[in-house]
């Protein structure tokens, strides 16, 4: 299985800040990476796929980058609704696997 | 707009079988567009992919659960189902159904909590 490791596991920030969350895979996943946002008691919501493609309806302050084994999610100008837990997911090979999550706190 | 809704018992006894159903609207479970998936999230923990069913009844399961999992679909009802046998406390989680498209989970149900306890 391909393992994906996120860092940091938690992050404190303020409204208006820029933050970056990273995800490292144990093998080259050729940009087959998605990012999800989850708020308490809710299902995850797809934010980005193919490492850098914004899902329809997601604000442009979200962006993704990376290649090979290393990827990042950046949120510019944090808004109150962005404080949530973020997960990366590789879909290069089965079984699909997720990072352990990064909790973004105010 | 694709919508999914899980249903099933919220409490299952250890050693028994967990059975959940996902009702789909806005898309057909018989189409070639989506892979219909189950995932779960134990309390306070991360996400685990359980498996999917695709057009023609093609299935794929996470090897960690493969011996205990069956995913099936009922096209006449536009729904798909999960069965997990021999449950233990480690199977306590929120279970989600989702529509998988080119590897990423585009649509999710709201999730249903299941507790394995006597």
Interface test with A, best of B105, B107, B111, B113 (most A CBs within 10 A): B105
The CA–CA distances, whole Å, from A45 to A2, A57, B104 equal 22, 11, 11
d(CA B118, CA B111): 22
**Contact flag A89-B47 (C-beta cutoff 8 Å):** yes
> Which residues 22-51 of B have a C-beta within 8 angstroms of A?
46-49
- What mean pLDDT do residues B14-39 have? 97
**Contact flag B49-A98 (C-beta cutoff 8 Å):** yes
**Contact flag B111-A43 (C-beta cutoff 8 Å):** yes
The confidence score (pLDDT) of residue B52 equals 98
**Contact flag A89-B104 (C-beta cutoff 8 Å):** yes
**Percent of all residues in chain A with a pLDDT value above 70, rounded to a whole number:** 100
User: Peptide bond before A8: cis, by omega within 30 degrees of 0?
Assistant: yes
Instruction: Nearest by CB to B63, from A42, A92, A95: name it.
Output: A95
Cross-strand bridge partners of residue B81: B21, B72
Three-state SS at A80: helix
The model's pLDDT over B42-68, given as tens digits with 9 standing for 90+, comes to: 999 999 999 999 999 999 999 999 999
Return the closest-CA partner of residue A106 out of A8, A14, A5: A14
- Given a contact cutoff of 8 angstroms between Cβ atoms, the answer to whether B73 and B54 are in contact is no
A35 close contact with B: CB closer than 8 A: no
- What mean pLDDT do residues A50-65 have? 98
Q: Exposed e or buried b for every residue in A56-84, given b needs 16+ CB within 10 A?
A: eeeeeebebebeebebbbebbebeeebbb
Three-state SS at A66: strand
């Amino acid at each position: 299985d391909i393992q994906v490791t996120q860092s940091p596991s938690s992050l404190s920030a303020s409204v208006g800040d820029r933050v970056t969350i990273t995800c490292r895979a144990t093998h080259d996943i050729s940009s087959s990476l998605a990012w999800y946002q989850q708020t308490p008691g809710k299902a995850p919501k797809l934010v980005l796929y193919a490492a850098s493609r914004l899902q329809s309806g997601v604000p442009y302050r979200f962006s993704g980058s990376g290649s090979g084994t290393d990827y990042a999610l950046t949120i510019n100008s944090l808004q109150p609704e962005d404080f949530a837990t973020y997960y990366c997911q590789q879909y290069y090979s089965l079984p699909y696997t997720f990072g352990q999550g990064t909790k973004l706190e105010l | 707009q694709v919508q999914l809704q899980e249903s099933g018992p919220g409490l299952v006894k250890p050693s028994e079988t967990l059975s959940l159903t996902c009702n789909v609207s806005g898309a057909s479970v018989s189409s070639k567009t989506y892979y219909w998936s189950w995932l779960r999230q134990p309390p306070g923990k991360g996400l685990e992919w359980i498996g999917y069913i695709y057009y023609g009844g093609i299935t794929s399961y996470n090897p960690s659960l493969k011996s205990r999992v069956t995913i099936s679909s009922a096209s006449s009802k536009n729904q798909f189902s999960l069965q997990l046998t021999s449950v233990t406390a480690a199977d306590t989680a929120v279970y989600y159904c989702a529509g998988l498209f080119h590897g990423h989970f585009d649509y999710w149900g709201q999730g249903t909590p299941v507790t394995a306890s006597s």
